[in-house]
A and B are shown apart, each in its own frame.
Chain A
Amino acid sequence: MPPVVHAENLVRAFSGRRVVDCVSFTLNEGDCLALFGPNGAGKTTLLRMLAGLLAPGQGAVHVDGVPLAAGPAARARVGLVSHASMLYGALTARENVALAARLHGLPHPDDAAMRALATMRVDDRADVATRTLSRGLQQRVSIARAIVHTPRLLLCDEPYTGLDDAGSVALTATLAERRDAGAALLLVTHNLAEGLALATQAAIMRRGRFVRHEARALLDVGSYQSQYRELAAVDG
């Protein structure tokens, strides 16, 4: 059984500077990697490579044993939540999520869309143009969009941004449910508590590299917190 995601020696440079510098890791079913790090560490770039939005300069990403570089079909198993909503403001929540369902080839896109919206407790706003929704509700629709095709690998780039308590609870519940159902998660967050709550692995990224990467079970939260604060402070 191939791992859900295997990233090997990923490198990506912009204008000569390495933004992601030799990152490797493996996630199996039920794994959740919480990724912390200061701004500019390369976390977003790494996620974009894992989602197939950016090609690595060197290295490869395999999802379920299939290399992402092989073609569009490999992206079918990946879902992405970023801090931008990725929604079309003029379309309703249902239409936005159904669009994602159609692009993935789901047989009943509207039903799948409603189910996903219900999971994120935003189905009562399904027929409202998303630009009229609050930031938090938009984020919930965005998450629904990312899970409508039940991805094996769910990438979340600071998904808690803008969510109120109810939204955060719904998100954590959804992520936990996905993880327990066998998906692998990669969660980028600035909030150590939220990240560690769901994590089975934890890593800190700085200047394009993983400076710490270990199993959650082996972590002492207190010393982790102080080391993280130190590392974040150095980069400002």
Chain B
Amino acid sequence: MAERFAPPSSPPGTLAAAWIVARKDLAIEFRTRTAFLAALVFALLGVTIFFFAWDSTAVAAADLAPGVLWVIFTFAGLLGLQRSFGSELGDRAVDGLLGAPIAREAIYLGKALANLVFVSGILVVTIPAVVLFYNLPLGREIAALAGIAGLAAIGLVAVGTLFSAMAVNTRMAELLLPMLSLPFFVPIVMAAAQSSARLMAGRPAAEAWPWLRILLAYDVVFVTACTLAFPYTLDE
């Protein structure tokens, strides 16, 4: 009788558990798809509206593009982050995660990973759209741009997932998440916009490098800080 209760092959480690949580979140998102499509449409509409909000004879479209891209990325990202913990509270599904033999950090990392996929999906469509609508001459810089996008997405998702975990438990979640997150997104937007502007204007990579360093440092600091802080957002 004792062997019926032996702890079944050891529970997953933190990274494996994070992957399980991420897959679960992505499966749910894929099932409904509404949040992703809404964020995508928002991003494309935003990019379009910005174009008409400027006097195109005074400011060249190519000069406008980096700013527009990263501002829209931030707000579309927020739409995605809003839904991050929504599925957990309704039927207390989060208790299933908390009662499982996995580290609390795995829950954060898993959700952040799912959010990263979500945000990356938006970027994959939005960046080509910006290149198209704003007539950007884009050649070999595309790889560097992808790198900047990746770093920016990591920073956005690290901070946004943490604040999403807190905001979802409050009365004004939709308002609180932007209020908490936007000050933290400012260094990301600045660094991403400034470095991609320089790259797209064909300036030497050395000019973009200081901004990339800020972005890299930001990611390291905030991914660490948010992973450590996450367990404190749980009611224990």
Contacts and interface: CB of A to CB of B under 8 A. Distances in A.
Given A72-B101, A150-B4, A86 B32 contact: no
B91 A52 contact: no
Contacts of B102: 72, 103
Given A76-B7, A76-B11, A82-B92, A103 B97 contact: yes
Interface in B92-122: 92-93, 95-104
B31 A90 contact: yes
Nearest to B21: A103
Contacts of A73: 7, 10-11, 101
Nearest to B88: A88
Interface string A60-100: 00000000000011111110101011111111000100011
B90 interface: yes
A173 interface: no
B170 interface: no
Contact of B101 (A74, A80, A150): A74
A107 interface: yes
Contacts of A48: 95
A88 B24 contact: yes
Given A72-B101, A99-B20, A182-B1, A104 B92 contact: no
Contacts of B98: 52-53
What's the interface size class on B, roughly? 20 to 34
Contact of B95 (A76, A80, A95, A103): A80
B12 A181 contact: no
Interface in A128-167: 129, 145, 149-152
Contact of B27 (A51, A82, A95): A95
Contacts of A90: 27-28, 31-32, 87
B236 interface: yes
B235 interface: yes
A30 B235 CA distance: 32
A106 B5 contact: no
Contacts of A75: 99-101
Contacts of A103: 11-12, 17, 20, 96-97, 100-102
A78 B7 CA distance: 10
A107 B9 CA distance: 7
B90 A105 contact: no
A103 B104 CA distance: 12
Query: Which of B2, B5, B27, B102 has the most CB atoms of chain A within a 10 A radius of its CB?
Result: B5
Nearest to B103: A72
Given A51-B99, A73-B101, A75-B100, A89 B20 contact: no
Interface of A: 48, 51-55, 72-78, 80, 82, 84-91, 95, 99-100, 102-107, 129, 145, 149-152, 181-183
18 contacts: A76-B11, A77-B7, A80-B99, A84-B92, A87-B91, A88-B24, A89-B91, A90-B27, A90-B32, A95-B27, A103-B11, A105-B9, A105-B11, A145-B96, A150-B4, A150-B8, A152-B5, A181-B4
